[in-house]
Structure 1
């Protein structure tokens, strides 16, 4: 990964990258890059990190606003033999302090804005790294990047396939995120190499325009960067925000043929599907990762495409394992299958799944709920600073995902809930699917299980209101629930990937964090 962009430039690939705003580490660099310009930026940043004191085996923490330069900086750190750790700026200062103490980075690449935000909460980030570098403006206790520009880094440093390559963190929906350590063998050899194939209908072709609207502090985009650059599409489009009116002109200027996004991005961009000459008219493949996308949203995007047979590909997996299953939706299959949250079958040749009783770990029969275990060569090396927690999630060569599911007759798996979020009254995920189907005004529905009580439904709408009549129609013939709470999108606590932090939301609304599950495998 340290020489990825150099190799692309040497191959003279013709990919042009379009940004919705300039890189934070190159504010004067414009919004259009070719492979050679990206290689130059990675090489320059490697010089900055080296001059700041990072070297072989050191950790480099990255904390900044959401942009693809998270991955460019990670590649720069890899280039000098360091191990990058990408930290989402959506995390609270107290959580960042915990993770930085575990990391003990030689260099923290951040912004004065992040230093000020954390200091206002009583957390001094400058005390948690040997050297702190800011990329926006100078800050007390930090080195400004302008003081490092022009520094030459060492020659690219190689490392063993099983040595730590990159550290990413889990979403943190149930507490402090885990720091997930991946190697070249796991995240590149087992994940990126498998994805970088020209598979009919879903593989990237030279004439494709590939757009992504993601959280660039997470491991998916590090892997995605390796794949998309090696596959050399005609254009790459980087979207950093979730305001539909800001991304619309970028997508119209470069209509994608392949679109990947966070579930939350798809929810927020959905109004664009209803516009005349919508920007998704050329999409042949939609890709969703990180979390569930409910049927009404999928249906809107498939109908927005003018391609004769657009596909929606759902991937279910974890930061620790990469994708474990995949499933394709079409206009016809979505109408036929309804709301059941089927995540599909294990990735052929790459992953195996086993469903067991969570108390005895004995296999359960198809059709019976069980704890999902996974076996994959892409499993991470460790949780940094929490090795025992990592070991506790293994049963031999099997990884405990912490999800509950049912294996169906055709070998596919239907997810029910996270074990910690389960309810005795059915599947929260499936009920959320039904509610979103019945409530067109809902941006998102979240069902919170509570011990000894019916689950509490939370309905997210544009204005934070929901009529009693709409709710009565929506909950007809569903399990008993409490009266709904209606909120606006920004009222909910969210992770860097815009997942709802259910534990925090439960405490916010009920004053309690008690759940119906054990939480043993969070």
Structure 2
């Protein structure tokens, strides 16, 4: 990864990368780059990281505004033989301080704005690192990047394929995220290499315009960076501004043929699909990970494409394992009678992953049709959690990984996700209830069903103005399990992670004063 851009440029790759705003890196003022220019930027970044004291095997923590230069910074650190740790700027002061304490980084790369925000909350990230470099403006206790710029980068260093390569954190929907340390063997050889084949219909082609709108602090985009550059599409476009009016102009300039985005971003961009001159006409492949996408959003985006064989590829997996299953949607599959079950996750990745459903108390395998804990086996599993070895061992069951999800398999091997175990209440699936309500109530932006212990599930209705139609809601839930009185909220009041997932326990605490849900939470 340290020489990825150099190698792709030397092979004559003609990919052009377009940005919706300039990188936050010094010396990076443009919004269009070829691979040679990106290779130079990575090398220059490695130079100033080395001048800041980074050496082989050091940890470099990166916390900044969301942009693809997270991966350029990571590649520059890898080039030096160091281990980058990509941490989301969405993390609150206390969780970030905890993760930095576990990391003990030689260098923290961040911004003066982020330091100011966290200091106002009573925490100082500078105290958790040996040295701090800020990218935007002078800050007390930190070195401005201009003071270390201009140094020549040392020669690239290689590492053992089983040594730590990159550290990413999990989403953190239920508390402080875990730090997952992947190796070259797991995230590159097992995951990224698998994506570099030109699969029929779903493979990236040389004439494609690939648009990515993700959270670039997470492991998915580090893996994506490795694979997409090797596939060498004509254009790569990076979308960081997700407000519909801002994104619309950028997408019109670079209409995607392949679009990968966070589920929350798809939800935000959905209003664009209804316009006469919308930017999704050429999309033949939509990709989503991190979380399931609700049926109305699937229909809207697939309906916006004018490609006859447009496909939606939904992946289910975890930071620790990479993708475990794939499910494909088409306009035809969404046109059938009845409500679409978006929690049908498809089947395990052939020849790469295995899944089993077990009793949560005895861990005995359960037959098809019985709900239980989902365990996974894959060669792409990371070696462990940083600073939480006991927690890792508790989730490892003789080589089978406890995902902490509750699901059921049918006789064909297809997996249906019910809930996270910590949120699961016997006899129902909150996730399925959310799908049904969003399908029946088109004015909903999102529905979140919470499960306080010893009481009926609470539906939280996310709407444009924080109000709802009580009559329509009552009609929609008439044939559903008993629910508590709904709570309406505007989008801005919903606590989320950096990947747009709802922090369910934080929301539950807002509403009830207690963060604990119906499940045990033993495997979160």
TM-score (norm 1): 0.99
The residue matched to 2:510 in structure 1 has which SS? Answer: helix
Q: What is the aligned partner in structure 1 of residue 207 from structure 2?
A: 207
Per the alignment, residue 307 of structure 2 pairs with 307
Partner in structure 2 of residue 483 of structure 1: 485
Tell me which residue corresponds to 1:322: 322
> What's the CA shift string for 1:62-92, capped at 9, x where partnerless?
0000000000000000000100000000010
| Cα distance in 1 between the residues matched to 2:36 and 2:275 | 37
Q: Find 2:388's aligned residue among 376, 386, 390.
A: 386
2-side partners of 1:225 and 1:41: how far apart? Answer: 15
2:180–2:386 CA contact under 8 A, matched in 1:
yes
Give the equivalent residue in structure 2 for 1:139.
139
| Distance of 1:26 and 1:35 partners within structure 2 | 18
Gaps of 5+ in 1: none
Task: State the partner residue of 1:419.
Answer: 421
How much does 1:509 deviate? 0.6
What residue is the counterpart of 1:467 in the other structure?
469
| 2:348 aligned residue | 346
Give the drift of 1:27. Answer: 6.6
Cα distance in 2 for residues equivalent to 1:174 and 1:209: 36
Distance of 1:385 and 1:155 partners within structure 2: 31
Tell whether the 8 Å contact from 1:425 to 1:479 is kept in structure 2 after alignment. Answer: no
Which secondary structure does the structure 1 equivalent of 2:345 belong to?
A: strand
**Residues 444 and 459 of structure 1 are in contact (CA less than 8 Å); yes or no, is this contact kept in structure 2?**
yes
State the shift of 1:518 in Å: 0.8
Shift of 1:28: 5.0
CA distance in 2, matches of 1:473, 1:72: 51
> Match of 2:113?
113
* Matched ranges for 1:439-518 at <5 A: 439-518=441-520
Q: Distance in 2 between matches of 1:467 and 1:251?
A: 34
Q: CA-atom RMSD, angstroms?
A: 0.9
For residue 26 of structure 1, report the CA deviation from its aligned partner: 4.0
Work out the CA distance in 1 between the residues paired with 2:82 and 2:170. 21
Query: Within the alignment, does 1:399 sit opposite 2:401 as a pair?
Result: yes
**Contact in 1 for aligned 2:63/2:110 (Cα 8 Å):** yes
Equivalence for 2:2: 2
Q: 1:13 — aligned with what?
A: 13
Question: CA separation of 1:432/1:27 partners in 2, compared to 1, >3 Å: closer, same or farther?
Answer: farther
Partner of 1:280: 280
Count residues with an aligned counterpart.
522
Match of 2:182 in 1: 182
Partner of 2:440: 438
Distance apart, 1:424 and its partner CA: 2.2
1:470 shift after superposition:
2.0
Where do residues 240-279 of structure 1 align in structure 2 (5 Å cutoff)? 240-279=240-279
Work out the CA distance in 2 between the residues paired with 1:283 and 1:410. 30
Structure 2: distance between partners of 1:64 and 1:19: 17
> 1: distance between equivalents of 2:354 and 2:123?
43
Deviations 1:254-281 (A, max 9, x none): 1000000000000000001011121000
Secondary structure of 1:323's aligned partner: strand
* Secondary structure in 2 matching 1:453: coil
Hey, what's the Cα distance between the residues in 2 that align with 1:89 and 1:67?
A: 11
- How far apart in 2 are the matches of 1:120 and 1:192? 40
Task: Please name the residue that 1:74 is paired with.
Answer: 74
Query: How far apart are 1:339 and its partner, in Å?
Result: 3.0
Q: Distance in 2 between matches of 1:58 and 1:71?
A: 17
Using the alignment, how far apart are the partners of 1:61 and 1:323 within structure 2? 25
Structure 2: distance between partners of 1:129 and 1:394: 31
In the alignment, is the contact (CA less than 8 A) between 2:106 and 2:130 conserved in 1? Answer: yes
Contact 2:111 2:135 in 1 (8 A): yes
Give TM-score, length-normalised by structure 2: 0.99
2:91 alignment counterpart: 91
DSSP-derived class of the 1:334 partner: coil
SS of the aligned residue for 1:245 comes to helix
Range with greater deviation from structure 2 (22-31 or 133-142): 22-31
Q: Is the 8 A contact 1:423 1:450 kept in 2?
A: no
Work out whether residues 339 and 439 of structure 2, in 8 Å CA contact, stay in contact via their aligned partners in 1. no
| Runs of 4+ residues deviating >6 angstroms | none
- Name the CA distance, whole Å, in 2 between partners of 1:338 and 1:201: 26
Q: For residues 243 and 520 of structure 1, what CA distance do their matches in structure 2 show?
A: 37
Deviations, residues 480-507 of structure 1 (Å, cap 9, x unaligned): 1011111111101100001000111111
Which shows bigger deviation, 7-16 or 177-186?
7-16
Confirm or deny: 8 A CA contact 2:406 2:417 kept in the other structure.
yes
Equivalent residue number for residue 159 of structure 2? 159
